[in-house]
Structure 1
Amino acid sequence: MDAHKRLLAILHIVYGTIHILIFAFISLLANTLLPFILAEIGDNSEETMLLVNGIMLLIRSVMFVLFVIVPLPSIIGGIAQLNNKQWGLTTMMVSGCLSLFNIPIGTALGIYTIWVYLENKKTKPE
């Protein structure tokens, strides 16, 4: 069972890191393309700039929330589990349940996380 917990920790760290890279790429892409889009519109009025700034604030806020909810608990739980912390598996369980909605890789990781968590509870009676 320790091999499964170690593999699960590594998978969560990789999964969280990939999410961070994807979010960083989307943010970079949005910040890079926005000036070109504004130049094509050609309307530099105050209303347009307020709208664009509002949209960028919304995108950054959504990215920050997704960054905090999805990948950080996964990475923190994986590192804690590799360091044999008891709370690491519980943190990965929460992150795994949240990743169930990310079809197909997140679903597979979530199911595997639930299986490892339940097997750990069977072997360690409280």
Structure 2
Amino acid sequence: MQLVSVRVITNDVARLVEFYEQVTGLDARRPAEQFAELVGPSCTLAIGSAETMALFSAGAAVPESNRTAILEFLVEDVDREHERLTSLAAAPEVVQEPTTMPWGNRSLLFRDPDGNLVNFFTPLTDEARARLAR
């Protein structure tokens, strides 16, 4: 089994796609107005309109209500990313400034426009880097 994507459901696909294009540097593929994908080297971040939930089961996902999942992105330098993100015209709400965690990652936690938590992290220790090896 292979995890290939995470999908975020939103009321404003264009707004969320623009945000993630800015913070990741990836260009989104938009096969439909209600759906977009940002394809990274290890996983795809899909963004779907709340309208698309009718295709699955109405009410199965509720936009802007996540308080448990964190979207995590491996970056080269958390501190440099923090400077870059806070200089954006629509800078995200920073929840946690760059902090070195007990498990060896340096982490920056912020919210996307829908309130979802996003973690940019860089492994600092050999043990932390080894955990990412596939």
Q: TM-score, normalised by structure 1?
A: 0.24
| Higher relative contact order (Cα pairs below 8 Å, separated by 6+ residues) | 1
Q: TM-score, normalised by structure 2?
A: 0.24
Q: Quick check: which has more Rg, 1 or 2? A: 1
Higher strand share: 2
Higher helix share: 1
